[in-house]
Amino acid sequence: MKQMPLYYFSIVFGGSFALSVILTPLVRRLAVKTGQVAAPKDSRWHKRDTAVLGGVSIFCAMMTVWVAAAMYSGWIVYGRPYLPMIVCAAAVFALGLADDIFSIAPQHKLAGQIVITSILMFFGFRLGWTDSATINLFLSILWVVGITNAFNLLDNMDGLSGGVAFIAGAFLFLFLYLNPVPYAFSGPVLLMSAAYLGAILGFLLYNFNPASIFMGDAGSLFIGFMLASLTMIGSPAQAMERSYVHLLSVIAIPILLLFIPILDTGFVSLMRKLFRRRISQGGRDHSSHRLVAIGFSERKAVLVLYAFSLVSGLIALSITRFGIGVSLVIIVLYLLFILFFWIYLAKVKVYPEASVVSGDGTGVFTPILIEITNRRRLFEVLLDLVLISVAYYTAYLLRFEGTLGGNFDFFLKSLPILIACQVLAFFVFDVYRGVWERTSLTDLIGYIKAITVGTIMPMLILLFAYRFYSFSRAVFVIYWGLMLILVSLSRLSFRLLEEGVRRANPEGNPVLIYGAGLGGQMTLREIETNRKLGLTVVGFMDDNPNIKRKKIRGYPVFGGEEDLEEIINKYLVKNIIVSFKENSGEKKRGLTARCKKMGVDVDVKEMKLIIS
């Protein structure tokens, strides 16, 4: 089948977008007149009455444009084979619309989704991830129902579910357009995707923060079902090839395209299970809500999740461009970053009970988690096992220009020796005694020693056992550098995230620290780690002219009292903390008098270290 030019799909996209833009305000007006309005609730995020039924405009815009485009392009090829999928999608839409209007019990709604998905499977739409037709059938049902509900759960903040669906659909379109496959009719899928993307983007104009209309269950279930189906029929899984590269792309590409809704659903389900809450109940405990809880605005929280979705899509798109080795390294590193970031989010308190991850929670799973993460350090050892393998494998890839070839046997032969030596070195140098939230320069020095010893030991063993025949010294040098970076970043992850979040989202009254010495830095650390103070540092003031206009821990150092009025007016300073070791009381009185003379309302405090 000859692939249609890009401009043709652009026309389909534009038509669907325009129709969605026109229909959405009409549907909003209808929803308000008929009382289909979502009122604010404790378990919901919005703060004002908002019209629902936005899914109607998405559904009508996509279906209208798709039918017209398929008939114009050739109904026998572009329309009729996919009619069962469209009919099932319409049934899911009707199920969601009934829930929006009449409120259906979660178990009944799930049963309806399973029935509709099973009908879709009857017409031959299914994944081809394995050689077993039975396993593929059950995986397909799980995939479609799971993704459908994932987007339903993700619809918890203005523009989030629709935006992530648009990003995932856009990358699916790019993947199919850049990788046309003769055995899969990518043209019809591209046509359907273009109509789908236009309808969602048109709705997003009204749904992004502050939203004037919600898509409701009719919209979220429909876009989830459609995207699950599109990734299923557009996947390269139906090929007969079974190489490692193929299997990686078969499984990884659709999962990466839909990674954020899958991740958020799994994360929320796990946390609610640990806290003995019903998974089906609403709540402000999603990834987006936790991002707001740590200081992001609603828009920024949604944009952060958009960014993760974009990165996932780019990785999925790049898999076919790289070999299996490079792709695996990229995916593992990305998953490690995701792991640290979502553990950080899990520490945010959103339930009345204490956080399970922090070790203060109650429940069946809590003692096990504490034992694993705090006492036995099993998590750190397993993490280092992954880091060692990734660093060593990457070192081989860099040394041999992306392909191991015959060196793969030497990699496998030496990897167990390296793991044993490196983990032993970590134990000897007390790496597993450190607290990640308090990692310091002293800890980094310990990492350097442990990694150096862990690199030299296997080299000596290989020299003694094999006379280092066919092993590359450059590989171990590269490994040393990569391992140092990975270990340092993993141990500093929570501090880096905490500092990055605080810098990006300053909250609290602006405060100046007068005195950039050790006392000032102690004050800075206390303000950064103690949110109850309600302060955000704008910089230091110091009388020493040699450090003026320099930075300490990323904060600027201003001048002395002669610049006070300018700084207060520029940064809207409400507090000044004097951090002198000596004569701090005298400096406090002088600054208080100066602020009164300037006519500004600034609270001047004095830092005191009390040991009793």
Q: What are the sequence ranges of the domains in the chain?
A: 6-346, 377-502, 506-606
The pTM score is: 0.84
**Residue 88 contacts residue 222 (beta carbons within 8 Å):** no
User: Residue 324: CA atoms inside 13 Å, Cβ hemisphere, count?
Assistant: 11
Distance of CA 140 to the CA centre of its chain: 25
Q: What's the burial of 436, exposed, middle or buried (CB within 10 Å: 0-12/13-18/19+)?
A: middle
pLDDT at res. 112: 96
Other Cβ atoms less than 10 A from the Cβ of 364: the count is 9
Running along the chain, 612 residues long, what does each successive block of 10 average in pLDDT? 80 97 96 86 69 95 96 91 96 95 91 96 87 89 95 92 96 87 71 96 94 94 96 64 57 89 91 76 82 86 95 89 82 92 84 54 45 59 92 91 78 91 92 72 86 94 82 91 92 76 69 83 76 80 81 81 82 83 76 84 79 58
d(CA 92, CA 120): 11
Of 197, 206, 132, 135, the residue nearest 169 (C-alpha)? 197
Distance CA(220)–CA(152), nearest Å, equals: 5
Q: pLDDT at position 248, please? A: 64
For residues 100 and 52, the answer to whether their CB atoms sit within 8 Å is yes
Place of tokens 């019990």: 105
* Residue-level pLDDT at 541: 85
Decide if 154 contacts 160 (C-beta within 8 A).
yes
The tokens for 343 are 């553990």
For residue 188, is the peptide bond before it cis, meaning its omega torsion is within 30 degrees of 0? no
- Tell me the three-class secondary structure of 330-376, residue by residue: HHHHHHHHHHHHHHHHHCCCCCCCCCCCCCCCCCCCHHHHHHHHHHC
Please tell us whether the domain made up of 506-606 is placed in CATH 3.10.290.10. Answer: no
Q: How far, in Å, are 228, 419, 428, 430, 467 from residue 444 at the CA level?
A: 45, 20, 15, 12, 32
Q: What pLDDT score was predicted for residue 457?
A: 94
pLDDT score, position 493: 81
Instruction: Produce one character per residue of 31-40: b if its CB has 16 or more CB atoms within 10 Å, e if not.
Output: bbeeebbbee
3-state helix, strand, coil in the chain (%, to 5): 70, 5, 25
What are the backbone angles phi and psi of residue 208, rounded to the nearest 5°? -70, 155
User: For the purposes of burial, counting CB atoms within 10 Å of the CB of 258, is it exposed (0-12), middle (13-18) or buried (19 or more)?
Assistant: buried
Q: Looking at this protein, which amino acid is placed at residue 451?
A: I
Per-residue pLDDT at 132: 83
